[in-house]
Structure 1
Amino acid sequence: MHEHEWRRQIVNEMHLRRWPVLRAPMVVVQQVRLVEDAQRDAEWAAWSAMPGGGEVRRAYRRHVSGTLAGGLAFTWERHSEASTQTVFAPGADTATPELGAALAWMASLPGATVRATRLVIVADDAAAQQAMAHAAPDSPLDFAPEDMVSCHVAGPMRIWSDFRIGADGYGRMLVAANGLDGGDLTRAVQRLQELGSYRNLALLGLPVARAAWPRLDEAEADLRRLGEALTRKDVRDDDLMAQLSALSLAIAAVASATDYRMSATAAYALLVEERLADLAPQPIPGFLSLGEFTQRRFLPAVRTCAAFSKREQQVAARAGQFTALLRARIETRIENQNGALLASLERSATRQLRLQHLVEGLSVVGISYYATALIGHVLEGGESLVHFDARLAVGVMTPLIVLATWLGLRRARKRLLDPAASA
């Protein structure tokens, strides 16, 4: 059969991001890295061919799974802008040589880490309390009591964490399975890790919004000054247009630099809400729950990013409105100038018509005068042959000559101005 070129890709997509089955006790170490496009090939080469005796069981361009040197299971997942590397070590010891070697190799991979966690899974609450009681200072289970977050998630499973970065650069979390096992435990821990990863990726938009916020303040101040200048007649339109164009370019530069990050923050925030709803945190008296911890600072940060995006759009729209007003002002001024020019042309045409009529009148007088003089000379020459009064004849003929001259000039002008009449 003729397969679509994307069929296997979309089918394989449904099988990606699968973890090995988790069973307490176990340590799960995960890193989330932002990887640039230029680094993708080097990252793929590192994961698709494991060094030092590692084994790859499944390898796609977006997912690799297998075992590292020392027998530790791992998964690598590629996201749109980040990559997630996860190592699974049996037992509750976070300082084994095999795990240390695996983390050292992961530290050499390309990309900038945005989240790194050590998650220790134990069988029940009693084992968790014992592990925390015997935790050495600065160890992965040495939590700060004032920042402790603890609650039940996904049913009976309980978590403890202070959500702080330890001296080793990793966040720490303790999980008591409390009867969850196999696939249920695996899915719950995976959702818990995805919640933290998407939360950090969403919060990447907050520093961007804070850094760009003063630029919007400056743009609004410039818009206020330009708005005042628009009402003044002594400010040149060319100067206003140049300033508005420069300001619009500055606003567009802010949008170009921040739109992707703000859109990503909004998308990641929806995923955080979904994962939090799937985990369904249940509070425990005396402790801050995972839901409260997430809602307390995460939602204000997301809303700050949303407010920044809305404000950037409003500033851009306001700049567009000012540009439209300036164009309307320029067009109105041009129309007024055209109207004044047309009125001047009309007055000039009226004066030319009057002058033309005056010239025609003078022409009638001049032509009639010369015609009468010529006829008078003729009559005076014939006066000796025929007895009549030449002066009287000239006097009688003068009105007729003037009328004939006027009618002739009028007809000639009509033939020149009316093409149909001349045809």
Structure 2
Amino acid sequence: MNPPPLKLDFHPLRESLYNELHARPFQVLPCPSQVSHLAVLTTPEQRNAQFHHWQELHAQLGQPIPHQDDSCFEATFGDLRIRRELHMEFTSYTFIHLGASQGHQPFQQTGLAGLPEGWLERLTGTVVAAFHLDLQPVNASQEPEPGAIRRHFDGERLVGSRPAEGKAQVWSSFKLHGDGFGRFMIINSGLSDSQLGRLTQRLMELETYRLMSLLALPEARDMTPDLNEMDHTLARITDSLTDDATVDEQKVLARLTDMAARIEAFRAHSTFRFSATRAYHQLVLARLAVLREDELSGHLTIREFMNRRLTPAVETCESVSERLDDLSRRVGRASDMMRARVEVAIQSQNQQLLASMNQRSKVQLMMQHTVESFSVVVISYYLIALMRMAMDVAQEAGFDFNKPLLLGLAIPTTLGLVYLTVRSIRQRFLKLAERDQG
């Protein structure tokens, strides 16, 4: 009898975290059997359509219709077992024909044999991986020769190895055949059904992740000519900054801004794809490590084949991604340099403008002083004229005084008073200006 549960504050995701470890259990596969595997790129809208298509299959085969789109759903319809798995950007379908007869010819029948006619053609999405796996039992002393196996791969060069400590053989050409599918042959000489299921699952994941990791390669190749052109343009711009002091900063800055916009557009379209390539490649390496391959009759093992073909492609994508980042940094530094030059040029122009304004201010001040001098004389002249008129009126009225003497004394006195008054007014305005600036 289990003890009563403790009343603890459990995290709401605790149960789902436990279930995640068991969400995609390994298959248990009898031998012989045929397996077909598809990986389909999907959008959120297509994923809904795929689920309805999945429900339609259950209805056609007379099975209970699922109402919840689980991350991993497996159903058996007689001799047909179908497994549907949801991944981040693709959905995988595994079709297993469990009724294969002993001694059947490889690939004459596939895991798709039990599907209703036309159902697979109506599948929504873009197929990236599609391949058949044929599982053949054999005694260790009766393993077929590589030449006999090659006939089932249209005579193509084979890649083969002994995984699982030599208890099986795995063969493939890693090429598409006439039906548009790839092919794997697993010759089982000592694996249990659960071991065979794990080996098959790892091979399916290996091939799927290999193809998914290569999706970025065409994009990297398409980018390379543009990156070469931008690299050369940036080098010419940088050289011009060191050799030509009369470069048009505004024009160069506009070219750098346009180049930066193109680089950011490339990064926006490729960052996710390149990151996914790195992640899928790591998964491929992990699956290769678990296979524990031994060499088979001098053929390339799957690990050797991947290291020779897949790794350079992934490194090409890595190189283009790093080149994008490097170009972005270099364009940023060149743009900062050009902005600094533009700012220095603007500051120089501002200094020249300030010097010119200062010179004009001095001229205006000198002119103002001259005008003030003339103003003192003019005002004094009119004041003395008024005084003379007043004296004339006073003499006519009968007052007796020495008019020339009074006018002679009034002239310097008037000039002095007018000068002091104008100077006082100017000082008052200067103080007001200084107070406003403070």
TM-score band w.r.t. shorter chain: 0.7 to 0.9
Match of 2:311 among 278, 285, 299: 299
Q: Offset of 1:206 from its aligned partner?
A: 0.9
Shift of 1:392: 5.9
CA contact (8 A) 1:32 1:197 kept: yes
Q: What CA deviation, in whole Å up to 9, does each residue of 1:21-42 have, x standing for no partner? A: 1233332221222223332122
Q: String of CA shifts for 1:320-372, please: whole Å, max 9, x gaps.
A: 33333333333333333322222222112211211111122223333444555
SS at match of 2:24: coil
Aligned to 2:430: 417
| Match in the other structure for 1:179 | 190
- State the distance in 1 between where 2:115 and 2:264 align: 45
Question: Is the 1:415–1:421 Cα contact (8 Å) retained in structure 2?
Answer: no
Partner of 1:169: 180
Q: Does 197-206 or 90-99 show the bigger shift?
A: 90-99
Structure 1 residue 257 and structure 2 residue 265: aligned? no
Unmatched 5+ residue regions in structure 2?
A: 1-6
CA deviations 1:166-190 (Å, max 9, x no partner) are 2222222222334321333322321
Aligned residue runs from structure 1 range 22-421, under 5 A: 22-48=29-55, 49-53=57-61, 55=63, 60-68=69-77, 70-90=78-98, 91=100, 93=104, 94-96=107-109, 99-102=112-115, 105-124=119-138, 126=140, 129-130=143-144, 137=151, 139=152, 144=156, 147-157=157-167, 158-224=169-235, 226-227=237-238, 231=244, 233=246, 235=248, 237=250, 239-284=251-296, 286-371=298-383, 395=408, 398-419=411-432
* Contact 1:26-1:120 within 8 A present in 2 as well: yes
Post-superposition offset of 1:265: 0.6
CA distance in 2 between partners of 1:421 and 1:282 (Å): 93
Q: Match for 2:129: what amino acid?
A: R
The Cα of 1:159 is off from its aligned counterpart by: 1.9
Q: Partner letter of residue 161 of structure 2? A: C
Question: Deviations for 1:386-407, whole angstroms, at most 9, x for unmatched residues?
Answer: 787x656655665444333322
Percent identity at matched positions?
Answer: 31
Q: Which amino acid aligns with 2:88?
A: S
TM-score, normalisation: structure 1? 0.82
Letter in 2 for 1:334: I
SS at match of 1:87: strand
Amino acid at match of 1:319: V
**In structure 2, distance between residues paired with 1:7 and 1:81:** 25
Partner Cα separation in structure 2 for residue 195 and residue 97 of structure 1? 20
1:130 maps to amino acid: P
**Letter of the aligned partner of 1:116 in structure 2?**
A
Using the alignment, how far apart are the partners of 1:330 and 1:45 within structure 2? 61
How far apart, in 2, do the equivalents of 1:175 and 1:122 lie?
Answer: 6
Contact map agreement 2:27 2:198 (CA 8 A) in 1: no
Tell me how far apart the structure 1 counterparts of residues 284 and 355 of structure 2 sit (CA, whole Å): 69
User: SS of the residue aligned with 2:25?
Assistant: coil
Give CA deviations for 1:276-313 in whole Å, capped at 9, x if unaligned: 22223233462212211111111111110001111112
Mapped partners of 1:367, 1:136: distance in 2: 121
217-226 or 27-36: which moved more?
217-226
| 1:57-110: CA deviation from partner (whole Å, max 9, x where unpaired) | 986432221124x52212111211112111223446343488534396434422
C-alpha RMSD of the superposition: 3.8
8 Å Cα contact 2:166-2:294 kept in structure 1 = no
The answer for unaligned runs of 5 or more in structure 1 is none
Change (3 A) 1:171 1:143: farther
Residue 25 of structure 2 corresponds to which residue in structure 1?
18
- Structure 2 CA distance, aligned partners of 1:40 and 1:162? 31
Q: C-alpha distance in 2, partners of 1:119/1:54?
A: 27
Contact 1:368 1:405 (C-alpha < 8 Å) held by counterparts? yes
Cα 1:365–1:103 change in 2 (3 A) is same
Superposed CA deviations along residues 137-190 of structure 1, whole A, max 9, x for unmatched, are 4x35x653xx33222323233322222222222222222334321333322321
Cα distance change, pair 407–15 in 1 and its aligned pair in 2 (3 A): same
- Tell me the equivalent position of 2:4: none
CA distance in 1, matches of 2:30, 2:110: 21
* Structure 1 counterpart of 2:3: none
Q: What is the distance in 1 between the residues matched to 2:146 and 2:64?
A: 35
- Aligned partners of 1:262 and 1:306 also within 8 Å: yes
Given that residues 156 and 180 in structure 1 are in contact (C-alpha distance below 8 angstroms), is that contact kept between their aligned partners in structure 2? no
